[in-house]
Chain A
Amino acid sequence: MRRQAPESTHAGFNTTGTLTAVLLYYISSTVVILLKPNPSSGVPIYLQLMEQVKHAIETGALKPGEQLPSIRPLAEELVINPNTVAKAYRELEHEGVIELRQGAGAFVSAGAATKKDAERLQAAQGLVAQGIERLRARGITDEEIRRLVEAELAGIRMGGRRE
């Protein structure tokens, strides 16, 4: 069965209605699309940025060794606080996803996402797609599915019972 590209389920992104906010960065030969974070979603902006960068790496839009946009220009383009961008980059560095090189900028770590990771994630995506199809077949709406996933991730068991 042909899989459709799933809608982004990353919490806080408003993929719809942000066509005007899609920004294209041309840095050497890299084209990185970064969406404007949603300030009112309740999810901290730095987390949204981190998710975007990780997602870009996972899908291969950003490859290991490639340079990320500099903090200041990125903050100006997205109209967010430069400290927030700096925080996101620092956290990403802490997680080993990127490297901050003094004077040169931020670069995707060599070990950030290998082809194997990409494949692993593609397989995982297949599992997610199957699960979603099954839930939909039971009449559960997409909104409910999203909340179930979030609640599950937040470590709360449904119905107060342990499974």
Chain B
Amino acid sequence: MSDVIETAGLWKVYEDVEALQGLDLRVPQGSIFGFLGRNGAGKTTTIKVLLGMARPTRGEARVFGQSPFDAQSGVDIRRRVAFVSDEKDLYDYMTVGEIIAFTRSFYPRWRNDLEQQYLRKFELAPGRVIRGLSRGTRTKVALLLALCRGAELLMLDEPTSGLDPAMAEDVLQSLVAHVGREASTVFFSSHQLSEVEQIADHVAIIESGQTVVSGPLDELRAQYQRIELVFEGDAPDIRVHAPGKHRVRRKGRVLTVLTGPPKGGPSQVNAAGSSHATAVVEELRGYRPTSIDVTPVTLKDIFLESVKTEE
């Protein structure tokens, strides 16, 4: 199956702000794709471009293999996509029931069965006006509107932001259930790295409008390792020569090395990358530390490593 979302060298310049600077992205069909980056890195801009809300300055973007900026194909794309914005803003003046009826009228593949199911599950009262709803309830309404469209692709900007942990788990659970039953793709941006680790099978990290890391999460993790060495005397000033990007920290007798895939190499992660980590461990053993500890690296470590500016 081809990729559901594809960008190549995507640039977007707003007046004097370069929001996207040559972004490359590939989202496989059927995946749950986590889109990570610091605030202002370009996540929301990317989503806007993919939905035809903003026109790219340069480069290519395709959804379902079509262009979002052509009037006709843009409509076709949006008929198959469900979008939930960061702020989850809806029409304040409508009631829950009214906005459901409104949205339903645009989607011939609307799922009435799912509508009933989520109304029950999310405990939504159709008569309530949206203006008076709490953020959590508004998120649930927005999610219902997205999940009932019969969409092949869900695009969510920070779906669990501002939600308490129980509600956040509800949201994640609905997404997971949806992917399982409806064979759709989920593309979501998030700051909650543990959530991304929980449900995503692919991730991309962007920084300053460019992709710094992207690929299957399991393969990505195999490429990073944290190695802690303790020496009898002060830790030596080590330069690691094995290929890959390495961050070395010395503190007294302890040396910590965080290894990653080669800098400047393809940001696409693949299974071959894990061999780099073993080579580094071999090299470090040669320094004869009194102890070597290899600890697993979390997505948070990988994220912080990828987006930190060079010191």
Contact = CB atoms under 8 A, between A and B. Distances in A.
Touch test A–B (CB under 8 Å): yes
Interface string A11-40: 110000000000000000000000001011
B179 A82 contact: yes
Contact of B281 (A37, A80, A156, A158): A156
B260 interface: no
A156 B32 contact: no
A20 to B, nearest CB: 10
A160 B288 contact: yes
A144 B173 CA distance: 37
A84 B145 CA distance: 27
Contact size class for B?
Answer: 35 or more
A55 B108 CA distance: 48
Nearest to B195: A39
Contacts, number: 86
A43 to B, nearest CB: 6
Interface string B174-206: 001101110000000000011101111100000
Contact of A42 (B181, B285, B295): B295
A44 B218 contact: yes
B294 A151 contact: yes
A45 interface: yes
Task: Name which of A76, A79, A157 has the most chain B CB atoms within 10 A of its CB.
Answer: A79
Interface string B268-311: 00000000000001000111111111111111100000000000
B31 interface: yes
B221 interface: yes
Contact of B290 (A39, A44, A71, A159): A159
A82 B185 CA distance: 12
B179 A158 contact: no
A83 B31 contact: yes
B6 to A, nearest CB: 20
B167 interface: no
B172 interface: yes
Contact of A79 (B30, B198, B290): B198
A75 interface: yes
Nearest to B300: A40
Nearest to A70: B180
B300 A156 contact: no
Given A147-B293, A158-B291, A81 B218 contact: no
Given A72-B181, A76-B173, A82-B180, A39 B194 contact: yes
Given A41-B296, A156-B281, A81 B199 contact: yes
Contacts of A12: 296
Contact of A40 (B287, B290, B299): B299
Given A40-B299, A160-B285, A80 B176 contact: yes
A146 to B, nearest CB: 11
Interface string B142-167: 00000000000000000000000000
Given A80-B198, A151-B293, A154-B294, A75 B218 contact: no
Contacts of A71: 180
Given A42-B297, A72-B180, A150-B294, A79 B172 contact: yes
Interface in B29-70: 30-32
A11 B218 CA distance: 16
Contacts of B218: 44, 46, 87
Contacts of B298: 40-42
A156 B176 contact: no
Interface in A124-163: 147, 150-151, 154, 156-160
6 contacts: A42-B296, A44-B217, A82-B179, A83-B31, A147-B293, A151-B291
Given A42-B297, A83-B31, 15 more contacts: A39-B198, A41-B296, A42-B298, A46-B218, A71-B180, A79-B176, A79-B198, A84-B201, A151-B291, A156-B292, A157-B285, A158-B291, A158-B292, A160-B286, A160-B289
Interface of A: 11-12, 37, 39-46, 71-72, 75-76, 79-84, 87, 147, 150-151, 154, 156-160
Q: Which 7 A-B pairs have the closest CB atoms?
A: A42-B296, A39-B197, A39-B198, A72-B180, A82-B180, A160-B288, A40-B194
